[in-house]
Structures are given as structure tokens and as C-alpha cells.
Amino acid sequence: MAVHAAAVPDVVQSTLPSRRQDLVFVTNGLPSRILDGLLGGGHESEDDSDGLLNSITLSVLHFGVLSVGGDVVTASSSPPTLVHGKHSLSLVALLQSQDIVVEQVSSRSNLEAAAVKKLMWSSIMWTLCHDAEWHGARHADNYSAQKGTGP
């Protein structure tokens, strides 16, 4: 099922407690935020007596799908999509069948570190690219105004 990130807590609450360990999240965002949605916060606790924290399958995506039913968009130069959890090997096989480069990571902390790095990279790149486009458009408007050809 595909849901918006804000719906994750509702999905979890609708899932039988005995089946929550089988949830697989293929989503953008920080794994810790997903765990907050699952567990209501406090996921850093060492008390994981039911094994839920290490069972939930989470991912850090490095591919896109631009429209419903669209093709997967990825490049060989992209970092691998990373997965961790109970169903990670099945998820690796599924993603590889779509020609997505994917790796299983050994711990949630490694997955979280990769997610933070991706978030920082995309935020910095968006800021740099957006800023360059804005300055370019501003310069073009000023040039046009000076020449009497612009707005």
C-alpha cells in the first residue's frame, strides 16, 4: 500500500500488533521519524523486548518514480538504495529486479546516518541550485530592464 508519510501512524495502528514486525517502509525521510510514528517516540530505548525495532524494514531511497505507473529513474552513478530489517533481503531482490542498485546495511544506526547524509546533500544541492537559478533570473531581468527589453 502506498501512503503519505503523515499516514504512517494510522497504518501502524491499523496493523495487528503481531504483524507490525512485517511492515516494510519504502519511503523518503529519516528512519527515526518513521519509528517515532510506529512507536510514539522513544525508539532509542534499549528495551526492545518484542524485537520490533530490528524487525521493521526501512529504506533510504536513491531512485525516483515521477508519475503513477512511471518507470524507475536512477543512474549508475547514484548511491545505492539502502535497506535494513526483517524483510531486507526480499526488498533487495525486488528493487534489483527493477535495475535499482541496492545494498543491505548491518544496523539501523548505519541506515539513519545514510538518511541524514542524503537529507543534508539534497538540502544543500537544492539551496545551491535554487540560488543560482534565482540569481540568473534576477540578472537577466536587470539586463533586460537596462536594455529596455524587459518588464
**Average of per-residue pLDDT values in the chain:** 77
DSSP state of 18: G
**Grid coordinates standing for 48?**
526492545
The radius of gyration of the chain from alpha carbons, rounded to an integer in Å, stands at: 20
> Where is 147: in which H helix or E strand?
helix 108-147
- Supply the DSSP string of 75-126, one letter for each residue: -TTSPPEEEESTTHHHHHHHHHTTT--EEE-S-HHHHHHHHHHHHHHHHHHH
**Per-residue confidence (pLDDT) for residue 46, from 0 to 100:** 45
* In the chain, % of residues over pLDDT 70: 71
Of the candidates 76, 60, 57, 61, the residue with the CA atom closest to the CA atom of residue 113? 60
Q: Whole-model pTM?
A: 0.71
What band does 91 get if pLDDT is binned at 50, 70 and 90? very high
| Ramachandran assignment for 85, one of left (phi > 0), alpha (psi -120 to 50 degrees), beta (any other) | left
pLDDT tens digits for 3-40? 777 777 788 788 898 898 898 888 777 777 766 656 65
